[in-house]
Amino acid sequence: MEKKWVSVLFLISAVCGVSAYVPHRYHFVNESKNWTEAQSYCRQNYTDLATISKMEEMKKLNATLNEKARSFVWIGLDRGDTGKWLWSLADESFYKGEDTYRNWNSGEPNNLGRNQYCVAMNKEPGTINNGTWTDEECDKQYTFVCFDKNKTNTDRYILINETKSWSKAQSYCRENYTDLTSVRNQTENQQIWNFAKYSISSCVWIGLFNDSWKWSDQSDSSFRFWTSGQPDNQGGNEKCTLVSMTDQGQWHDVGCGTTNPFICLQNQLILIKQYLTWREALRYCKDNHVDLVSVHSEEIQLWVKEVAQNASTEHVWLGLRHTCTLSFWFWMSGESVCYQNWAPGNGTGGEDCSPVERTGAVQARGGQQWVSLPEDHKLNFICLSYEN
């Protein structure tokens, strides 16, 4: 074993604990800028304007703002010219899946009156329309179906036999359960309709909505935290989003030209699209950031996959190294390889160490599992940009 790795090996923990990983942090900038200026500032100094993909992140952002901001703060959500159908997902990590299933009634969606952006399920039994979907004006009053991520099978669905607008139904479900229900396949559609047919209204709201809002970093998160009555596009030109500290951190749509403080997002993981050997990549990360990334949990692996898919090489270096002398793998951060995601045939103790040591990389696409490669291959790599 080379002497230069001895100190690292002595630091390796033999105990596998729970990783306290945080994928990104928020930075409040107390300068008044319009939305475009704020976006440019964040991209130059951090990663981008703040993106929020679930309620836990919204709470984290509000914690950053509570002692610093007094009124309104820009985030990275703005309105585009065209929309797409999205599921309301307050917890996207739980309710993922192929977003391809649709069960529209004949002739739907038709956006009648150019103001139908929310989706309801027809509940009438004994007709060909039962369980099919229709687009409706979001202010219509219907009952609705929530889902609870902590329950299984049909216990997950809860019919609320009170009529509300779509946004108020969404708020109710998020406050009391997980969210308005998503529908991923015909089986789930039938299960939900089995509840919906007992509704006191002719239709029930589900969690699908047509949304033209997009995040500055181009991520696909459908999490929204609008305050009551928002977005209203007053005057027809409110295309950017503010967090209102006077409304418990809920959101308003406003004109993009107003000036406000803003909050930037800094990603912890950075893909470096240079072609370096493992040792060169390690040195680059240590000199310019913190270290090559270590993957201690499934949560970190999910973020690594997201970053790695944009690589220009087939594999991407991780901070993972093998010692032939002691015949095991270790992270350069000094932690044991507890969580593992090896591709078949990789990650064994009996690695071929000739002519050079083996190091670890992740597949950029496909299954995105880990592979063992000679350290002299030249690949893109992922750096850790700050320590928690």
What are 343's two structure tokens? Answer: 């591709």
User: Once rounded to an integer, what is the mean pLDDT over residues 34-61?
Assistant: 91
Mean pLDDT, to the nearest integer, of 274-281?
Answer: 97
- Mean pLDDT, residues 383-388 taken together: 79
pLDDT, one tens digit per residue, over 199-252 is 999 999 999 999 889 999 887 778 888 888 888 888 889 999 999 998 889 999
pLDDT at 15 over 60: no
Give the per-residue pLDDT at 29: 95
- What is the reported pLDDT for 8? 47
Q: Give CB contacts under 8 A, 24+ apart, made by 110-118.
A: 110/135, 111/135, 111/210, 113/137, 116/210, 117/83, 117/209, 117/210, 117/211, 118/166, 118/205, 118/208, 118/209, 118/210
What pLDDT does 349 receive? 65
Provide the pLDDT for residue 118: 94
Number of CB atoms found within 10 A of residue 154's CB: 11
In tens, the pLDDT along 337-351 reads: 888 999 998 987 677
* Mean pLDDT of the 263-285 span: 94
**CATH class entry, domain 268-384:** alpha beta
Answer yes or no: is pLDDT of 161 > 60: yes
List the single range of 258-267, 324-333, 344-353 with lowest mean pLDDT: 344-353
Least confident of 177-181, 252-256, 331-335: 331-335
Q: If you search the block for the tokens 């929309």, which residue do you land on?
A: 83
pLDDT attached to residue 126: 56
Q: CA angle, 106 as apex, 102 and 108 as ends, to 5°?
A: 65
Across residues 144-153, what is the average pLDDT? 92
| 292, pLDDT greater than 70 | yes
Q: What is the pLDDT of residue 236?
A: 86
Q: Does the pLDDT of residue 320 top 80, yes or no? A: yes
Examine the pLDDT at 120 and tell me if it is beyond 90.
yes
Spatial separation of the C-alpha atoms in residues 220 and 236, rounded to whole Å: 24
CA 186 to centroid of chain Cα atoms: 26
The answer on pLDDT for 162 being more than 80 is yes
Summary mean pLDDT of the chain: 87
CA dihedral angle for residue 76, residue 78, residue 82, residue 88, rounded to 10 degrees: 60
Of all residues in the chain, the percent with pLDDT exceeding 90 is 53
Q: Is 111 left (phi over 0), alpha (psi -120 to 50) or beta?
A: left
How many CA atoms lie within 13 Å of 338's alpha carbon, on the beta-carbon side?
A: 15
Mean pLDDT highest for which of 127-136, 260-269, 297-306? 260-269
CA distance 111 to 91: 28
Which residue ranges make up each domain of the chain? 24-264, 268-384
As a dihedral over the C-alpha atoms of residue 336, residue 338, residue 343, residue 349, rounded to 10 degrees, the angle is 50
pLDDT of 13 higher than 50 = no
Percent of the chain beyond pLDDT 70?
90
Least confident window among 80-94, 183-197, 274-288: 80-94
pLDDT of amino acid 98: 55
Nearest to 272 by CA among 311, 304, 315: 311
Residue 21 pLDDT class (50, 70, 90 cuts): low
Rounded-to-integer distance, Cα 86 and Cα 89, Å: 9
Residues in contact with 349: Cβ distance below 8 Å, sequence separation at least 6, in sequence order:
327, 328
Phi, psi torsion values for 196, nearest 5 degrees:
-60, -30
CATH homologous superfamily of 24-264? Mannose-Binding Protein A, subunit A (3.10.100.10)
∠ CA 384-270-317 to the nearest 5 degrees? 75
